[in-house]
Structure 1
Amino acid sequence: MKKIYFLCTGNSCRSQIAEGLAKAILDAKEWEVRSAGIEVHGINPRAVKIMDEINIDISQNQSEMIDMAYLNSADLVITLCGDALANCPVIPKTVEHQHWGLEDPAKARGTEEEIMHKFRETRMEIERLVTSLLA
């Protein structure tokens, strides 16, 4: 079974969305999917809400710090933000690494609808990228 690890700053938004989408899109018999952060910020309620819109429940997920054993045994590590890329522990040369530099929707400003629109855009971009892993 291949292991994929999504890493972000606080494991609260982008990496949680990616984990939820990857678990829904990738074959669970072929992929073990986890996410973590270089810090722990808790799950962003807007991330939970936009995932619920597409019937993916991440409400019980936990914000976690990087597990070095899992990182070192992963087949694919995907960093989702510049902060995680710059501050992530050293990714072993034996582990494939991709960087998906995504803006943090949690930093979006405006009306609630404008902010939620940014979250949905981020979800759609992550969905496109996760789907591309199947190619």
Structure 2
Amino acid sequence: MEKPIVYFLCTGNSCRSQMAEGFGHKYLEDKLDVYSAGIEAHGLNSKAVKAMAEVGIDISKQQSSIIDHDLLNKAEYVITLCGDAKDNCPVTPPTVKKIHWGLPDPAKAVGTEEEKWQVFREVRDQIEARIKDFSASL
């Protein structure tokens, strides 16, 4: 039997949704099939890969992709990670449960390299905490 699908969406499928997919594979894979996509595909952000490696999760083989409408329509859960994805997500059937986690885009962080890096870590940790809570609610 197929598992229900969770689909993590953000603008470019380069940082937040990629990290969410990585944590999804760790915490949700026993219950759900995990995917991510973007309104656009901006490529995998190397700092997101590094941030996830710090916590022992390799997302380097994940692909940046645009939303697959068939997958979107089959999903049990669609979790948007930014306002752009929430506002521009294509219409889904009423059976799809939409959840919004508005998180800052770490790729747009400003400041010194260390300050920017800290934003990646903070967003990563917020995503992990939300996925743990989401998993516990299933």
The bucket for the TM-score relative to the shorter chain is over 0.9
Shift of 1:29: 3.3
Counterparts of 1:84 and 1:113, CA distance in 2: 28
Work out which of the residue numbers 3, 6, 13 in structure 2 matches 1:4.
6
Give the gaps of 5 or more residues in structure 2: none
Q: Percent identity?
A: 57
Give the 3-state SS of the residue equivalent to 1:40 in structure 2: coil
Shift of 1:30: 1.9
Residue-pair matches, total: 134
Amino acid at match of 2:8: F
Which residue in the other structure is 1:78 paired with?
79
Counterparts of 1:86 and 1:97, CA distance in 2: 12
Give the 3-state SS of the residue equivalent to 2:49 in structure 1: helix
Amino acid at match of 1:9: T
Q: Which runs of 4+ in 1 moved over 2 A?
A: none
Shift of 1:123: 0.6
Give the gaps of 5 or more residues in structure 1: none
Shift of 1:60: 1.0
Shift of 1:89: 0.5
Shift of 1:59: 0.6
Q: Structure 1 length as normaliser, TM-score?
A: 0.96
Shift of 1:22: 1.0
Which residue in the other structure is 1:87 paired with?
88
